């Protein structure tokens, strides 16, 4: 095949065949075609879009461009199930959720990413735990999933290598924001992880990748349909990211919040726990580990209240090289930042709105995130006691407590938080904003028969 003919066909809005897509992806993975052609292909898809069968073909071709994990060979006594979030500020759900699902009989091989830009990455949070091997070899990963029920690790070079090259080129050619390409990118990695089922947490709001609910819904619909067509049982929840999730943002600080929530779930911040419970229950019903949503919710409660989820987390940390007493003595292992200052608001009142992306960028500026892939992270820095929408703030209740490496960066973060927060007088509008449900919608498999589905007459 001739790559420029495939690019030209897509440029003109025609539908590519599965064979053309597979050929292009294989050539891309082998680096048999240059970055210019890959970028032109991405831009053609960006403007012309892909049909559902094209997206399925792209996803499957990228998934099979490297190693595909096989959990069947380990004879796990339960389903291999994962959750994937499109990312947000303070999104620490995975650290609480994976052990809950493990305690309920699921096996969670969770392959997570590092943070880039304003969103944090699960892997950076776990790297705050001394000794934790976030990129173990596949044998240790599989052993931990089998023995503990969950393992959260980073992406290995062997999984979906075509996506790694494609994403790197999209990242520098203005072609990331395509629902077709995002769908294939996320799902190729999940299919390569050999899962039985997947639950997506698609976030919307000013701290999310997709700001508008309707765009998040379209992404969720695409992911759910393509995943199910590709043989991966998948559903999605649309969750609100118009404020920081939980009370902390910053790597070690978020780990501490999760350990406290696992050990004493009653103290977990309400929105964080609501999202975590909903996603965990969805994973249990999707896999048949619970027969009904009510039964799933009850199992999740038992896993939390009995301490079983906390115990799974402790075992996961130990199995992957972290301290054996981490859950009991996390304070010993997560050193505090040298400077801690309250971000007192310029005026007292009610939090009416938060520019969440700006809060994420403030954490990044403190050293808690990276501007480029090679940047080092300071795990100690970030925010605690982050005020939520509807809360009263003033001299006695800051917008957050800033944890910084030095006074200058603390002062900059305090100024950034004051810019990011809108403080108002109490009104019906602030009450309504505070009461908005965090889990907004569920997107299940569509009943509609896809056009030209593979094998369809």
Tell which one of 74, 176, 297, 424 touches ligand URA (CB under 6 A).
176
User: What three-state secondary structure class fits 291?
Assistant: coil
Q: Closest CB to ligand URA among 181 and 343?
A: 181
Whether 150 and 54 have beta carbons less than 8 Å apart is answered as no
Whether 120 and 371 have beta carbons less than 8 Å apart is answered as no
Catalytic residue among 92, 164, 189, 380: 189
- Kind and range of the H or E element at 288? none
DSSP state of 110: E
- Whether residue 125 lies in the annotated active site: no
Residue in 146, 89, 138, 86 with CA at minimum distance from that of residue 112: 86
Tokens of 108: 């969670």
- Whether residue 8 lies in the annotated active site: no
- Segment near ligand URA (CB under 6 A), from 177-185, 284-292, 413-421, 432-440? 177-185
- Whether residue 82 lies in the annotated active site: yes
User: What three-state secondary structure class fits 449?
Assistant: coil
Residue in 250, 252, 256 with CA at minimum distance from that of residue 268: 256
Pick out residues in 343-372 that bind ligand URA (CB under 6 A): none
Residue ranges with strand state E in 143-300 = 150-154, 197-204, 233-240
- Whether residue 124 lies in the annotated active site: no
- Whether residue 189 lies in the annotated active site: yes
Q: To the nearest whole angstrom, how small is the minimum distance from the Cβ of residue 123 to ligand URA?
A: 13
What is the pairing mode between strands 382-384 and 401-404?
antiparallel
Catalytic residue among 59, 65, 85, 287: 85
Q: Closest CB to ligand URA among 140 and 176?
A: 176
Report the distance separating Cα 182 and Cα 58, nearest Å. 11
Catalytic residue among 10, 82, 91, 165: 82
Largest CA distance in the chain: 69
- Whether residue 214 lies in the annotated active site: no
Q: Positive or negative, the Cα torsion across 355, 271, 315, 140?
A: negative
Q: To the nearest whole angstrom, how small is the minimum distance from the Cβ of residue 176 to ligand URA?
A: 6
Q: Closest CB to ligand URA among 181 and 193?
A: 181
Q: To the nearest whole angstrom, how small is the minimum distance from the Cβ of residue 154 to ligand URA?
A: 13
Does 218 bind ligand URA (CB under 6 A)? Our answer is no
Q: To the nearest whole angstrom, how small is the minimum distance from the Cβ of residue 159 to ligand URA?
A: 12
Q: To the nearest whole angstrom, how small is the minimum distance from the Cβ of residue 245 to ligand URA?
A: 18
Does 185 bind ligand URA (CB under 6 A)? Our answer is yes
Phi, psi of 240 (to 5 degrees): -75, 130
Does 186 bind ligand URA (CB under 6 A)? Our answer is yes
Q: Closest CB to ligand URA among 190 and 233?
A: 190
* In the complex, residue closest to ligand URA by CB: 185
Q: Closest CB to ligand URA among 182 and 334?
A: 182
Catalytic residue among 83, 133, 233, 312: 83
Residue indicated by tokens 């699921």: 106
Q: Which residues make Cβ contacts (< 8 Å) with residue 253, sequence separation at least 6? A: 380, 382, 383, 384, 403
Whether 260 and 304 have beta carbons less than 8 Å apart is answered as no
Q: Closest CB to ligand URA among 186 and 216?
A: 186
User: What three-state secondary structure class fits 64?
Assistant: coil
Does 182 bind ligand URA (CB under 6 A)? Our answer is yes
Question: Exposed (0-12), middle (13-18) or buried (19+): which is 395, by Cβ within 10 Å?
Answer: exposed
Q: To the nearest whole angstrom, how small is the minimum distance from the Cβ of residue 178 to ligand URA?
A: 8
- Segment near ligand URA (CB under 6 A), from 119-127, 176-184, 343-351, 366-374? 176-184
DSSP state of 390: T
Does 204 bind ligand URA (CB under 6 A)? Our answer is no
Does 42 bind ligand URA (CB under 6 A)? Our answer is no
Q: Closest CB to ligand URA among 208 and 386?
A: 208
Q: Closest CB to ligand URA among 71 and 167?
A: 167
Q: To the nearest whole angstrom, how small is the minimum distance from the Cβ of residue 55 to ligand URA?
A: 12
- Whether residue 92 lies in the annotated active site: no
Pick out residues in 144-173 that bind ligand URA (CB under 6 A): 167
Q: Which residues make Cβ contacts (< 8 Å) with residue 224, sequence separation at least 6? A: 200, 234, 235, 236, 443, 444, 445, 446
User: What three-state secondary structure class fits 256?
Assistant: helix
- List active site positions: 82-85, 122, 170, 185, 189-190
Interacting residues with ligand URA (CB under 6 A): 167, 176, 181-182, 185-186
């Amino acid at each position: 095949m001739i790559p420029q003919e495939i690019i030209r066909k897509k440029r003109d809005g025609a539908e590519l065949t599965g064979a053309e897509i597979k050929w292009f992806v294989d050539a891309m993975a082998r680096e048999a075609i240059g970055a210019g052609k890959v970028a032109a292909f991405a831009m053609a898809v960006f403007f012309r879009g892909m049909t559902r069968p094209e997206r399925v073909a792209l996803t499957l071709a990228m998934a099979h461009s490297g190693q595909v994990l096989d959990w069947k060979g380990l004879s796990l006594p339960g389903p291999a199930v994962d959750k994937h979030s499109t990312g947000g500020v303070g999104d620490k759900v995975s650290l609480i959720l994976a052990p809950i699902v493990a305690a309920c009989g699921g096996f969670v091989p969770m392959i997570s990413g590092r943070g880039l830009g304003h969103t944090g990455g699960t892997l950076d949070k776990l790297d705050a735990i001394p000794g934790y091997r976030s990129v173990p070899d596949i044998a240790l990963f599989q052993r931990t999933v089998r023995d503990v029920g969950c393992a959260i690790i980073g992406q290995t070079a062997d999984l979906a290598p075509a996506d790694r090259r494609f994403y790197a080129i999209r990242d520098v050619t203005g072609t990331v924001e395509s629902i077709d390409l995002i769908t294939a990118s996320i799902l190729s990695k999940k299919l390569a992880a050999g899962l039985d089922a997947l639950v997506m947490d698609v976030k919307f709001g000013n701290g999310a990748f997709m700001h508008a609910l309707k765009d998040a819904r379209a992404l969720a619909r695409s992911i759910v349909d393509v995943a199910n067509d590709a043989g991966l049982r998948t559903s999605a929840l649309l969750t609100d990211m118009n404020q920081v999730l939980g009370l902390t943002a910053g790597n070690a600080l978020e780990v501490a919040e999760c350990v406290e929530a696992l050990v004493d779930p009653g103290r977990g911040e309400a929105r964080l726990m609501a999202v975590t419970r909903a996603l965990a229950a969805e994973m249990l019903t999707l896999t048949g580990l619970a027969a009904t949503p009510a039964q799933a919710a009850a199992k999740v409660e038992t896993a939390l209240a009995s301490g079983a989820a906390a115990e799974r987390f402790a075992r996961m940390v130990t199995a992957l090289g972290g301290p054996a007493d981490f859950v009991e003595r996390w304070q010993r292992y997560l050193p505090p930042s040298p400077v801690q200052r309250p971000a007192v608001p310029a005026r007292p009142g009610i939090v009416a709105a938060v520019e969440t992306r700006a809060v994420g960028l403030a954490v990044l500026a403190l050293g808690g995130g990276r501007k480029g892939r090679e940047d080092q992270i300071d795990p100690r820095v970030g925010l605690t006691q982050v005020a939520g929408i509807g809360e009263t703030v003033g001299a006695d209740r800051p917008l957050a407590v800033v944890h910084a490496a030095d006074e200058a960066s603390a002062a900059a973060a305090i100024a950034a938080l004051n810019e990011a927060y809108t403080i108002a007088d109490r009104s019906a509008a602030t009450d309504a904003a505070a009461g908005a449900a965090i889990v907004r919608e569920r997107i299940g498999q569509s009943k509609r028969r896809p056009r030209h589905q593979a094998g369809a007459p």
